[in-house]
């Protein structure tokens, strides 16, 4: 499966993803293809909508204490639902669909999540720290929400201006 990352301002990123009902080889192929694309772009999280598949699917690979990512730490979530949350935490977030832009975003510190694995088995997880932040960021993608949608009016204006300038530069450098 050949996947490419969709970048803002592509309208695809606003779509709401659909619940997965079939835990078949097509789902497995999608999950298998998402992993290398996330790793090759230095990502720690990727939602299926970012590769143009409007399915409630996301993957995460949080670096360990040595800042290393390994396949043993890969988490695949299908149909995730955040069932409870508490506390507050601000983290500088980035997104593979909004390249080269990072901003402080306020989210919940601790969350509980119910989800299914690639075979449809029900799972639950309690998360804090970067894992909690990354899950909230990726679950937002499934609802068509980007981290830049959480910026204040003035920060968003500044972002739009900088992002347009960067896109222009990128286009000109390819000429």
Is residue 72 annotated as part of the catalytic site, yes or no?
Answer: no
Q: Is 95 in the site for Co ion (CB under 5 A)?
A: yes
Question: What is the distance in angstroms between the CA of the first residue and the CA of the last residue of the chain?
Answer: 30
Q: Which of 26, 66, 138, 162 is catalytic?
A: 138
Cβ(104)–Cβ(89) under 8 Å? no
Give the nearer residue to ligand Y12 in terms of CB position, either 45 or 80: 45
CA atoms within 13 Å, Cβ hemisphere of 29 = 8
Nearer to ligand Y12, 12 or 150 (CB): 150
Interface with Co ion, residue 59, by CB under 5 A: no
CB of 141 to Co ion, least distance (A): 6
Q: Report the run of H or E that residue 28 belongs to, with start and end.
A: helix 25-40
Site string for ligand Y12, 32-71 (x = CB under 6 A): ---------xxxxx--------------------------
**Is the dihedral angle over the CA atoms 57, 100, 160, 6 positive or is it negative?**
negative
Q: Where on the chain is the footprint of Co ion (CB under 5 A)?
A: 95
């Amino acid at each position: 499966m050949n996947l490419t990352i969709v970048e803002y301002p592509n309208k695809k990123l606003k779509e709401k993803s659909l619940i997965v009902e079939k835990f078949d080889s097509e789902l497995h192929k999608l999950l298998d293809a998402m992993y290398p694309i996330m790793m090759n772009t230095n990502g720690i999280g990727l939602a299926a909508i970012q590769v143009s598949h409007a399915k409630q699917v996301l993957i995460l690979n949080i670096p360990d204490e040595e800042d290393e990512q390994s396949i043993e730490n890969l988490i695949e979530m299908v149909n995730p639902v955040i069932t409870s949350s508490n506390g507050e935490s601000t983290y500088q977030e980035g997104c593979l669909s909004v390249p080269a832009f990072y901003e402080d975003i306020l989210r919940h510190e601790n969350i509980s999540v119910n989800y299914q694995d690639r075979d449809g088995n029900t799972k639950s997880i309690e998360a804090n720290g970067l894992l909690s932040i990354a899950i909230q960021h990726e679950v937002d993608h499934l609802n068509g929400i980007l981290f830049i949608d959480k910026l204040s009016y003035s920060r968003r204006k500044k972002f739009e201006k900088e992002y347009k300038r960067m896109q222009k530069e990128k286009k000109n450098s390819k000429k």
